[in-house]
Amino acid sequence: MSTYGRIYRGQIDFDFPRINRRLLIMSAVLIMISLGAFFARGLNLSVDFVGGTVWEVPSDTLTQDGATAVLADADVAAGSKVQVVTDANNVRIVRVQSDLTNQRESAKVTAELAQAGDVKVTDVETNFVGPTWGKTVTRQAAKAFVIFLVLVSVFITARLEWRMAVGAITALLHDVIITLGMYALFQFDVTPPTVIAVLTILGYSLYDTIVVFDRSQENQARYTKTGHYTFITLSRRSLNQVFMRTMNTTITALMPVIAMLVIGAGFYGQATLSEFSIALLIGLVAGAYSSIVVATTLLEWLKEREPQFVKIRQRISDRGGDPNDTRWVEYSKRRSAAKVPQASVRHEGAVAADNRAAERADLYERPHPPRPRKKSKR
């Protein structure tokens, strides 16, 4: 059987606690890079957030350099963006963005773009976006994010426990920081679809984390009373049980996202699909990673400090065991193995008792047959 088949059937026991401690170093490095890029370079906000003008020129002859030259002649080339996309009718569109807010100057640029693209002025679609709209969207998104965190914290605390809520919220923040950091590092455009994608990421990341935590709680309720397992051991057991489920869910979710990125954005030039799918792609990978590494490791650190698990670790040490050994051994097998010698002793004792009873019977056995009874006289 192949290694993948053994992993899929749960026949390989990964030492997740040891692996996760090493991967946390990578998480720390990624967070430092993300924060550094965010504060040093900032996000590349689209015109929808900063305000400006967007021109869409349906032309087969206008190039990106030609559109940039038009903006340079109008002295508005700074901070501008030019994209060549294809609309739903397979028409080539040159999309030009600028932070120009003066409508008179915008009308001049419209005429020059129409001339450069050899189209009518009326064919050029011009959209003016004020900065107020972008600020409103940003404020509403931030408000929705805070409300989401509060509701998630309350739900997980009520359904599971507060330590798991802390782990889940930390994993969510980890995913958001890395996603925004990658956007700042590579200067991807931040558009309204990007905001929607980031909010969607939170649901995927939370789902993976809840699956892991729910299994951890089940194993804790089942095995903690035996006094033989630390929480790290139970956590390792839980991760091995749900690992392939998490991987299958993530791979299944990534397939349509990659299809949108490659086919929609790559072949058809749909910029909106590209803006949406890039954020989803980064967030889905970060969410699957954080649910296994970040959230679980933080939960292990918090749970191992509970009094019951402190006592279990001490009990294991007193019996001569190693509380840091997280390998899984079924407690029922231990008990059955321990009962075998006792059963043998009881069996041997029963046999010995039967032998003694037989000896006593032999002592009282008569050496001759009994005398026949005398017949009574009538």
Contacts of 148 (CB under 8 A, 6+ apart): 199, 202
The confidence band for 3, taking pLDDT boundaries of 50, 70 and 90, is low
H or E, element range at 225? none
> Does the pTM exceed 0.85?
no
Q: Amino acid identity of 317?
A: S
What span, in angstroms and rounded, lies between the C-alpha atoms of 2 and 315?
39
Q: Phi and psi (nearest 5°) for 359?
A: -65, -40
What span, in angstroms and rounded, lies between the C-alpha atoms of 280 and 200?
8
The confidence band for 320, taking pLDDT boundaries of 50, 70 and 90, is confident
**Domains defined along the chain, listed by start:** 9-43+133-307 (1.20.1640.10), 52-129 (3.30.70.260)
What span, in angstroms and rounded, lies between the C-alpha atoms of 263 and 275?
13
Write out the E strands in the chain: 44-45, 52-58, 81-86, 92-98, 125-129, 189-190
pLDDT digits (tens, 9 = 90+) for 212-260: 999 999 988 888 888 788 899 888 888 988 888 888 888 888 898 888 8
The residue among 136, 123, 293, 279 whose CA lies nearest residue 202 is 279
CB 183 within 8 A of CB 44: yes
pLDDT score of 293:
92
pLDDT digits (tens, 9 = 90+) for 359-373: 444 444 444 455 555
User: In a 3-state reduction of DSSP, which class is residue 54?
Assistant: strand
Is it the case that residue 154 has pLDDT exceeding 90? yes
